[in-house]
Amino acid sequence: MYAMMVNINISRRVRAIEEERRLADDLGNGACSLTPPKQTVATAGSTKTLLASFPGSGKRFTYEVIAGLTDHAPGDDWNFSGHEGQTLHIKTGYPHHEGTWSWGDKMDQVVLLMRNPRWALPSYHTMRFELDFSESFVDSYLRIPYVYTVRPSVASWVTWRDINFEKEMQNWIDYIDFYMTGE
């Protein structure tokens, strides 16, 4: 289950999107052309949104949907997208230890994506497995080509779960608490 709260002036954005971009152009014979979102430069009056969730909760999917709907390329807390400071929305895992507070005071609002830990923790384990359980930014960065390419065995999940469940469950609770209380 996903819960999402978004504060957008829908009618104004719908009109702007319809006027400036179609998600796909019909090329005939069942073929289409997709256009990527723009790398929009945020202005002083732009509303900037932080998309936050515990690792394994679907941030990447959600920010890709937001990019498709708003026509604005997203950023991330580790600056992998290369256009932080310009983007209207940034995804983050902060305050989880694998996130970082890289946007300072530049964000105006937060969309907190919550996923049942029953599904978030196994998904998080899969990411950790793909990164070879790296413990540093450099080691994780070197493993990016392996992300979304392999799945761990059930035995790997059970071993990791048995060792890490209590700690990661508390991390999930602390994560939600951080955004609900601001502390």
Q: Report cis status (omega within 30 of 0) of the bond before 122.
A: no
Q: What is the pLDDT of residue 159?
A: 96
pTM for the full model? Answer: 0.69
pLDDT tens digits, one per residue of 72-90? 777 877 666 555 556 778 8
pLDDT tens digits, one per residue of 147-171? 888 889 999 999 999 999 999 999 9
Neighbour-count burial of 113, counting CB atoms closer than 10 A to its CB (0-12 exposed, 13-18 middle, 19+ buried)? buried
Query: 53-63 burial, b if ≥16 CB within 10 A, otherwise e?
Result: bbbbbbbbebb
Q: Is 110 helix (H, G, I), strand (E, B) or coil?
A: strand
Q: What is the DSSP code (8-state) at residue 136?
A: S
Q: Kindly state the average pLDDT of the residues 136-140.
A: 80
| Pair 84, 75: CB distance under 8 Å | yes
The closest alpha carbon to 172, from 131, 126, 115, belongs to 115
pLDDT tens digits, one per residue of 14-62? 455 454 555 667 788 888 877 766 666 667 778 888 889 998 898 888 8
Domain ranges of the chain: 2-181
